[in-house]
Amino acid sequence: MTETTEISTQIQDTISSNDVVLYMKGTKEMPQCGFSSRVAGVLNYMGVSFKDVNVLADEAIRQGIKDFSDWPTVPQLYVKGEFVGGCDIITEMTLSGELDTLFDNTGVAYDKDAANKIREANG
């Protein structure tokens, strides 16, 4: 197996074995870029249990996730094995209520009141 194949398999295993995965710069406790911080902040605030993968810790993963999703930037959010989007998409989905719908439809637990507070604060 090539390194690229191994990385792709590793990514597939991670998103398959966790309901919500955020590939980000830094960790959910210590994000290392504003975009990663925003998405992790939304998930944390909404009480979503998610696995964080720090792409800065592994250059092969950092490039591998971009190849895997055919998406040029990080963060990248996956829900139930499906690529949802990056910071702008997650922000829009949060404000429109689409993220709530996605979580409802996939059985991901979150705090509906917190989601509503985000919308009220940004409405």
Binding residues for [2Fe-2S] cluster are 33
Neighbours of 92 (CB within 10 A): 12
Annotated binding site: 33
Place of tokens 């829900």: 79
How far is Cα 55 from Cα 59, in angstroms, rounded to an integer?
7
Neighbours of 107 (CB within 10 A): 8
Phi-psi region of 37 (alpha: psi -120 to 50; beta: other; left: phi over 0): alpha
